[in-house]
Amino acid sequence: MNIPLVNRDLLKRQQRNSSPRRAQDRMTIFLFLLPAFVFFLLFIIYPIIRAGYFSLFNWNGMGPATNFIGLNNYKQILTDQVFMKGVGNCLLIVVLSLAVQLPLALMLAIMVGRDLPGRAFFRTIFFMPYVISEVITAIIWISLFSPDPDRGFINALLVLIPGVQPQNFLGDMNQVMACVFIVLTWKYFGLHMLLYLAGLQNIPKEIEEAAMIDGANRWQTIRNVTIPLLGSTIRTTIQLSVLGSLTQFNLVWIMTTGGPANASEVMATYMYRYAFIRFQLGYGSAVALVMLAICLIFSVMFLRLARQPDYLGSI
Amino acid sequence: MATVYTLKRNTIKKKLPRFFQYLVLSFISLIILVPIVIMVFGALKTRGEMFTHPYTIPNPPDWENYAQILQTPSFWNMLGNSLITMVGSTVGVLIVCSLASFVFARMQFRGKGLAFNFLTLGLMFPITVAIMPVYLVVRQMQLIDSLLAVILVQTAFGISQNMLILRGFFTSIPMELQDASYIDGCSAFGFFWRILLPLARPSLAAIGALTMIVSWNDLLTPLILLNRDTLWTLPLGTMQFQGQYSSDLALTAAFVTISALPVIIFYLLAERQIVSGLTAGALKG
């Protein structure tokens, strides 16, 4: 049983000696990694460095950047009320997503569970909004939110309730973020639910049954067995959700362009407005880098803090 | 007596939650489907009907809106641009990622961990954050207003996620196969090309399907890199169309429905691949 078919030490020594093979391997490694590195350096790393350089200038994109202003762009961003409003709205979406969207998705995933008849059918429907583009989602919801009950379905339902006036929704400063969040939830809860469903598949049924036999009720089982075992999936969805919320652009831009009166401004719409409408490329670069810093700080902190034991891995 | 009683109680206890489950799930399905159905129905109405009966089933269905969209050359042009971009970035992602994933899954070299962590840096920030810097560089390369630029950028931003997924799949292919092929005199490239890739076909389909959807739906990259309207992709064109014809709800609905149709059909056909790609990425990430 213990007779090795290939003596690995011998093989290694041989490989070290037989240089053609090693040289060939080294060549393969180099050539295979080359495209990935070229793409990455050229379209991700280099642009960021270059944006860092331009962020120190007051530059409108015409001709070379000559008006060096040091860190003034950053100073201006961090003192601009509108940008702060954008940060606040992003954080609001983050909090609402974590408090409402993810628990809803988790609840539905547990409800569908592993063996509910019709499981695949519901999964197909719930996940459908995720594959529809954000442009189409936004256009669908613009018409649903229309203030005119003859055009907006939601108001048509509302006016059926006696005494309720049609609402302005996307045009109302106090309602617009709630509307944006509803659309985000409609589009993205299916993704999270799908991931939870996949995570549930990996949990052996016996563990939950054992808890039930030990006298735990349904709720206790979910709380103390299922959710801890889903830990790594939940962490992934939190990361996806937070990064997505911090950098949300398409839906907000198409539905409201950040309005009315900056009420639905998010960081990305702020950046887009300065960089591509007012064409202040220096300032826009600085905004992009501030956003990047926020994302990186979150990701690094999250990876540090959330590295909990993987219960399922130890079973 | 007692046993009969508990038996009965158990079936009620079992059936009631089931009923409740289906009630909740159906209600949510309704919330998902109603907006889509209203749009599809709206597209089948004349302008007049749209005003008088906005939410009823179109009776009889009026195909005029669809015909009008399908007769505009710019629609077919956008469809073509979207297809070119999608095929380009999917091929790009498949090539770049399968090469890199092979090295990370199957070969040993110094600095491997560092190189891998570097290439997965893209998971820490979505493309929205980097699009402004990318614009500066694409402009510098004088690639503004070319579909090639969109393809290259989409490929670059697809690397981290897809490489991670593919590495997981590649690692799960038994090591013995590789040993056997090396003993038979196969080179590393030979093993990759003749054995690994054919075996990994389902996983390549998974990341391929995922990339296709991401590329097809991408608005931001074309929005920022393309100005000329002959180059617009469907999402970009849909956005502009909505701005232009926002008063003609039925026509907009037809445009939106037609541009959503390919991706919905594709999703229904390739659901398994898409789901396996997404979940593999999430569970291993």
DSSP letter for each residue of B71-94? H-HHHHHHHHHHHHHHHHHHHHHH
* Domain-located, residue B94: yes
Q: Which residues does A43 contact at the CB level (< 8 Å), separation at least 6? A: B134, B137, B152, B153, B156, B157
Question: Given this model, what pLDDT does residue A225 score?
Answer: 86
Distance from CA of A40 to the nearest CA of B (A): 6
Cα separation, A111 vs A92, in Å, equals 28
Same domain membership, residue B13 and residue B123: no
A59-70 per-position pLDDT tens digit: 988 888 888 998
Same domain membership, residue B207 and residue B84: yes
Same domain membership, residue B97 and residue B21: no
What CATH number does the domain containing B141 carry?
Answer: 1.10.3720.10
Question: Given this model, what pLDDT does residue B96 score?
Answer: 96
| A126/B32 CB distance under 8 A | yes
* CB within 8 Å of chain B, chain A residues 180-199: 186, 190-191, 194-195, 198-199
* Domain-located, residue B14: yes
In contact, B32 and A126? CB cutoff 8 Å: yes
Cα separation, A89 vs A246, in Å, equals 9
Cα separation, B63 vs B56, in Å, equals 16
Q: pLDDT at residue B176 above 60?
A: yes
* CB within 8 Å of chain B, chain A residues 137-166: 139-144, 150-151, 153, 156
* Confidence class for position A315, pLDDT limits 50, 70, 90: very low
pLDDT cut 70: percent of chain B above it: 93
CA-nearest of B182, B242, B140 to A11 is B182
Same domain membership, residue B104 and residue B24: no
Structural domains of chain A sorted by starting position, each given as residue range(s) with its CATH number in brackets: 8-54 (no CATH), 79-314 (1.10.3720.10)
Helix, strand, coil percentages, rounded to 5, for chain A: 75, 0, 25
- Cα A231 from chain centroid? 18
Question: Given this model, what pLDDT does residue A78 score?
Answer: 93
Q: pLDDT at residue B213 above 60?
A: yes
Higher pLDDT, B234 or B46: B234
State which amino acid sits at residue B82: S
* Confidence class for position A1, pLDDT limits 50, 70, 90: very low
| B97/A288 CB distance under 8 A | no
With tokens 């201006």, the residue in question is A76
Longest dimension (CA), chain B: 86
Of B25, B153, B242, the CB nearest to A43: B153
- What is the reported pTM? 0.88
* Domain-located, residue B86: yes
Q: 3-class SS at A104?
A: helix
Same domain membership, residue B92 and residue B27: no
| A128/B279 CB distance under 8 A | no
* Structure-block tokens of residue B107: 């070969």
* Domain-located, residue B246: no
What is the mean predicted confidence (pLDDT) over A287-315?
A: 80
Q: Domain of B217?
A: 73-233+267-284
* Structure-block tokens of residue B156: 């670059």
A124-148 per-position pLDDT tens digit: 999 999 999 999 999 999 989 988 8
Distance from CA of B258 to the nearest CA of A (A): 11
Residue count (chain A): 315
Q: Which residues does B245 contact at the CB level (< 8 Å), separation at least 6? A: B251, B252, B255
Same domain membership, residue B90 and residue B34: no
Rg (Cα) of chain B, in Å, rounded? 25
Same domain membership, residue B208 and residue B88: yes
What is the mean predicted confidence (pLDDT) over B235-252?
A: 86
Give the count of alpha carbons within 13 A of A269, CB side only: 26
* Domain-located, residue B124: yes
Q: pLDDT at residue B197 above 60?
A: yes
* Domain-located, residue B56: no
* Structure-block tokens of residue B29: 């399905």
CA-nearest of B215, B234, B238 to A131 is B215
Q: pLDDT at residue A12 above 60?
A: no
Q: pLDDT at residue B204 above 70?
A: yes
What is the mean predicted confidence (pLDDT) over A98-116?
A: 90
Q: 3-class SS at A68?
A: strand
Q: Which residues does A117 contact at the CB level (< 8 Å), separation at least 6? A: none
* CB within 8 Å of chain B, chain A residues 27-66: 28-29, 31-33, 35-37, 39-40, 42-44, 46-48, 50-51, 54
Question: Given this model, what pLDDT does residue B5 score?
Answer: 52
CA-nearest of A310, A243, A141 to B124 is A243
Residue count (chain B): 285
pLDDT cut 90: percent of chain A above it: 55
* Confidence class for position B224, pLDDT limits 50, 70, 90: very high
In contact, B151 and B199? CB cutoff 8 Å: no
What is the mean predicted confidence (pLDDT) over A205-234?
A: 86
Question: Given this model, what pLDDT does residue A19 score?
Answer: 65
Same domain membership, residue B9 and residue B96: no
B36-93 per-position pLDDT tens digit: 998 888 888 877 777 777 777 777 788 888 888 898 888 999 999 999 999 999 999 9
In this predicted complex, what is the ipTM?
0.88
Instruction: Report chain A residues whose CB lies below 8 A from the CB of B22.
Output: 118
Q: Which residues does A167 contact at the CB level (< 8 Å), separation at least 6? A: A147, A154, A155, A158, A175
In contact, B69 and B258? CB cutoff 8 Å: yes
Residue B120 dihedral angles phi and psi, to the nearest 5°: -95, 5
Peptide bond before A20: cis, by omega within 30 degrees of 0? no
Higher pLDDT, B184 or B17: B184
Same domain membership, residue B94 and residue B11: no
Instruction: Report chain B residues whose CB lies below 8 A from the CB of A126.
Output: 28-29, 32
* Domain-located, residue B258: no
* Domain-located, residue B166: yes
Q: pLDDT at residue B30 above 90?
A: yes
Cα separation, B128 vs B224, in Å, equals 11
CA-nearest of B196, B164, B8 to B100 is B164
Pairs of residues, one from chain A and one from chain B, whose beta carbons lie less than 8 Å apart: 246
Q: How far is CA B49 from CA A88, A198, B245, in A?
A: 43, 44, 17
Q: Is B96 on the interface with A (CB under 8 A)?
A: yes
Same domain membership, residue B106 and residue B191: yes
Same domain membership, residue B204 and residue B272: yes
Question: Given this model, what pLDDT does residue B279 score?
Answer: 83
B259-285 per-position pLDDT tens digit: 888 899 999 999 988 888 888 866 654
A38-83 per-position pLDDT tens digit: 999 999 999 999 999 999 999 988 888 888 998 999 999 999 999 9
A240-250 per-position pLDDT tens digit: 999 999 999 99
Which class for B30: exposed (0-12), middle (13-18), buried (19 or more C-beta within 10 A)?
exposed
A161-171 per-position pLDDT tens digit: 888 888 888 98
Distance from CA of B279 to the nearest CA of A (A): 6
CA-nearest of A226, A43, A197, A251 to B143 is A43
Longest dimension (CA), chain A: 88
* Confidence class for position A18, pLDDT limits 50, 70, 90: low
Same domain membership, residue B224 and residue B88: yes
Q: pLDDT at residue B1 above 90?
A: no
Question: Given this model, what pLDDT does residue A313 score?
Answer: 52
Cα separation, A274 vs A115, in Å, equals 51
* CB within 8 Å of chain A, chain B residues 61-80: none
Cα separation, A267 vs A270, in Å, equals 5
Distance from CA of A67 to the nearest CA of B (A): 17
With tokens 């939110």, the residue in question is A145
Counted domains in chain B: 2
A267-276 per-position pLDDT tens digit: 999 999 999 9
The secondary structure of A115-173 as a DSSP string is T-TTHHHHHHHHHHHHHS-HHHHHHHHHHHT-SSTTT-HHHHHHTTSTTPPPP-GGG-T
